[in-house]
Amino acid sequence: MKLKGINEQVMRSVQGLQEEMIEVTRKLISFPSTLGNEGGAQRYYADLLREIGMKIDIWEPDIDALKKHPAFITSRDHFSNSPVVAAECPGVGEGRSLLLCGHMDVVPPGEKTWSVDPWQGTLKDGKIFGRGACDMKGGLAANYIAIKALQKKNIQLQGDVLAASTIDEESGSTGALALLERGYRADAGVIPEPTGLELNTASTGSIWFRIRVFGESAHAGMAYKGVNSIYKSIKIMEALRELEESRRIRLMHPLYTQHPVPFCLNVNKIEGGEWPATVPAETVLEGRMGISPEETIEEGRQELEERIALSAKGDPWMSDHPPVIQYRNCRWNSGLVEETHPFTKTLQQQADSVLDRHVRISGMGPCSDSGTLIRYGGIPTINFGPNSMEIAHQTDEYVDIESLVKTAQVIALTLIHWCGVKEN
């Protein structure tokens, strides 16, 4: 059968599995898979993939072994009840392999009251509501349905298919690193993050920093005898604002023209002083700096450190008492897949076909596992999925069912056209 005929069959097959995709998404949402609690959801997902004949590998990463890798970062000291899932479906040969990846961990529901139970997967107005609905349990369900849709039509792929569900994506992509360290690789990868049905061929990285600014305490009645660390921190704040602006101009990338400031440098916390009658001796600034897809974490750190050092050098007190920069146990690698790459073209062609329009290629503002897969696994990985990232991490998070079906259809067709199909 010609590929056009197969395309039509597969799209109908995905459509016929819509109700199952809804139920899988709802079931995944029912597991509160926050940091350290991913086990139940991961075992359920592994069982789904096992039921459609995939070879399952589920394991809790060895934290001591991962610590030896330069990309390792985590805020925890063990991975008990936090396994990674990898499922393989070998092709018949002479085809390219494809990784379908997603992360099972979700952020907490937050303090604001939801209109629905965040762990129920409520159906309403063509949407599924719940924590992780769009980021990214709907995407994981779409990956599963895309594979099942091909199997229901007895389509044999030439290339291997690898489906993975990672952990720790929300705090540094340790799960993706564990997948690579386990030896898994593919010729290309797709992550159905909520991109609003756009191809995000670039993704930002980020570092979380902490800057300690020092002063000298004194009684506030004789404040002139001390050095106010809060006042000194204002100079550092100004330097950070200047750095963000210079990076905005210098690092502007054509895939990020829709973002006024694509690689934001944000200070989110200032803490200094203990008593109103005392000059504060130390002030701490905490924040996040975005990393361009064309720079490494190390290059970003170096620029931050040099800018702070330059600012301190211009102040007599800080020149002798320089600020100290520390980095939090969270960081993400940036990544980029060229628009001319064969996988970019394949994925865009299938998205154009399913959506019946020219699908935009853009850069992803938030971080994803794609940076780690690209930089340390050599896997050209593109983010493509439902809804919009603006809904992620918010109260009453949801995934739009129609966009979820479209996502699964695009992934299923991409499997066919990237991996190849055995002729009957």
- Nearest-angstrom CA–CA distance, 405 and 422: 25
Tokens of 294: 């064309």
Contacts of 87 (CB under 8 A, 6+ apart): 46, 49, 50, 54, 55, 56, 57, 162, 163, 164
Tokens of 106: 């979700």
Q: What value, to the nearest 5°, has the Cα angle with vertex 40 and ends 36 and 41?
A: 95
- Nearest-angstrom CA–CA distance, 403 and 386: 5
- Annotated catalytic sites, by residue? 105, 169
- Nearest-angstrom CA–CA distance, 260 and 251: 12
- Nearest-angstrom CA–CA distance, 2 and 174: 42
The pair phi, psi for residue 304, each rounded to 5°, is -60, -45
**DSSP of 367-387, one letter per residue?**
--THHHHHHHH---EEE--SS
Residue 362 CA, chain-centre distance (Å), reads: 15
Contacts of 154 (CB under 8 A, 6+ apart): none
